[in-house]
Amino acid sequence: QVHVVESGGGSVQAGESRRLSCIVSGLTFDDYAMGWFRQAPGKEREGVSCINWSGTWTAYADSVKGRFNISRDNDASTLYLQMDSLGPEDTAMYYCAAVESNGLGCHLPPTDYTYYGQGTQVTVSS
């Protein structure tokens, strides 16, 4: 059984940083591309960032480019999202997700992903 567990959320002030983590079990982690997604109240889930199976290819939503950094540790089956210069617009539930892929790239559409965690809330106050 696949388990995807996010952690690291919380309440921060605008301009501060936060690092999210996601531990995955029940699958061969380096057979999967990974992504971070977020959903604010009343809005659709959106792709924030993704990374290919080897960590050599990443992609970001325009709204987070230059502020967020995605990385992975395949030995630890863990995905990370370093979030800097946070603003109130980043307030959302953040989800980690996996899709089986050994391709060069990765994709941001949330519907491309198979396994999702329960999410971790990030709240940014001004």
Residue 35 pLDDT: 98
Buried b (16+ CB within 10 A) or exposed e, 47-81: bbbbbbbeeeebbbbeebeeebebebeeeebbbbb
pLDDT confidence of residue 103: 84
Estimate the share of the chain in helix, then strand, then coil, as percent rounded to the nearest 5: 10, 50, 40
pLDDT attached to residue 102 = 85
Q: Alpha-carbon distance 115 to 17, whole Å?
A: 27
Tell me if 52 sits within 8 A of 101, measured CB to CB: yes
Tens of pLDDT, residue by residue, the chain (126 residues)? 999 999 999 999 999 999 999 999 999 999 999 999 999 999 999 999 999 999 999 999 999 999 999 999 999 999 999 999 999 999 999 999 999 998 889 999 999 999 999 999 999 999
